[in-house]
Amino acid sequence: MMTGSPSAQSTDRETETLERPETRTSNGDSDAVAHIVHKDEQMRGYVGGEPIKALCGKVWVPSRDYQGLPICQACVDERDRRLAGMKRMN
């Protein structure tokens, strides 16, 4: 004879909730700026359709040619910061 509801019965399996950081992706067209990315990421994004991450932190799937657009100032600042750090190492 069973007592209690089926949902109250214990099972041998345990469940665990895994949290992952929230990553928002966009199609890239909402920005009126071009972002700076690593060349290998750029190819992965265009060829494989995978989300890529710009130096400023934006994550999106590239879908068009961004030539002629102004460059994202946050990407420029991050690139300059990284280059300055490399120059100090030499």
pLDDT tens digits for 33-87?
999 999 888 888 989 999 999 999 999 998 888 889 999 999 999 999 999 988 7
Q: Which carries the bigger pLDDT value, residue 89 or residue 47?
A: 47
Domain count, the chain: 1
Could you identify the residue written with the tokens 């060829």? 47
The model's pTM: 0.61
Domain extent for 50: 23-89
Asked whether residue 7 is domain-assigned, the answer is no
Residue 21, pLDDT score: 41
Residue 15, pLDDT score: 52
Structure tokens that stand for 90 in this block: 């030499």
Q: Which carries the bigger pLDDT value, residue 8 or residue 40?
A: 40
Burial class (CB within 10 angstroms; exposed 0-12, middle 13-18, buried 19+) of 53: middle
Sort residue 49 into left (φ over 0), alpha (ψ -120 to 50) or beta: left
